[in-house]
Amino acid sequence: MKFSKRVVVALGGNAILRPKEKGSSEEQFNNVEKTCRQIAGMIKKGFKVVITHGNGPQVGNILMQNENAKDIVPAMPLDVCGAESQGQIGYMIQQRLDNLFKEMSIPYSVATIITQVVVDKNDSAFTHPTKPIGPFYTEKEAKEFIKKNQKEKWIEDSGRGWRKVVPSPEPIGIVEKEAIKALLEKDVVVIASGGGGIPVIKKDGGFQGVKAVIDKDLAGERLASDVRTDIFMMLTDVPKVAINFGKSYQKDLDRMNLSQAKTYLKEDHFSPGSMGPKVKAAIKFVESGGEYAIICSSKQALDALEGKAGTRIVA
């Protein structure tokens, strides 16, 4: 099998855990398998694939388990919880892809790389945390947490309760990029930078984890640029990027150039909590020399690569 293009595929949360599901392993494995069939189809068509993914629900559950069991076993810090979620989700994707490769006679292997992502210790995000994480609590419970730790910041989130917020710094580089590139040269399908990667800062000639969460789409773009891929694909739960979303005159977009994408961003067409980061990541990828970016439904990934679905962002 001869590979034509390298593509980073970023799985949204709905590819692993869907709304109203409890988050059992059976549910997550079933969801992962559906998306993995799309990815296996890409590889069968000759694309060399790197996979990254979100981890919001999973790391939230890990944090809740840590909180509830802290009097029995020591609670782990946020960076370690992020690493746990990378291993958990990586295992699910890795196993299902391996099984599909055997079923479809694809002669390749899969490897998950627990990935550290470098951030700047002076990033302004560390003094202005904005990223909600973990489970929802009542206002009374949140105030009790604040009493115990005055350094923590909590906000009311989307009318569903109160959540702790942490810094969300910009990703600078992928620590394991050379290992990932080496695996790609051996035709290994790599799963990396899950949940935005584990944020680390440079310290004393090495690295140290920090209490932060990196936006998964921006980290996916950093991964795509660092390992020199041709295409950056972000899978979501909508078929295309749209302007005037949710209005009677909504317009779905098949294609955007950089100028159009930047204009639509300035005009606030894309929500900062959903489509905004994806469009920003697409712009960064193309500006960094990538051929094009794609935003599409997880059900139409293969069609989108062939130009039959989704929104393509080009120079």
Instruction: Give the active site residues.
Output: 13-14, 131, 216, 278
28: number of CA atoms within 13 Å, CB side?
21
CB 133 within 8 A of CB 145: no
Distance CA(128)–CA(153), nearest Å, equals: 9
Distance CA(296)–CA(72), nearest Å, equals: 44
Q: How many CB atoms lie within 10 A of CB 139?
A: 11
Distance CA(59)–CA(85), nearest Å, equals: 6
Q: What are the φ/ψ torsions at residue 67 (nearest 5 degrees)? A: -65, -45
Beta strands in the chain, from DSSP E residues, in sequence order = 6-11, 48-53, 110-113, 116-118, 131-137, 153-156, 162-166, 173-174, 189-192, 198-203, 206-209, 231-236, 241-243, 251-253, 255-257, 292-297, 311-314
Distance CA(158)–CA(161), nearest Å, equals: 7
211: number of CA atoms within 13 Å, CB side?
17
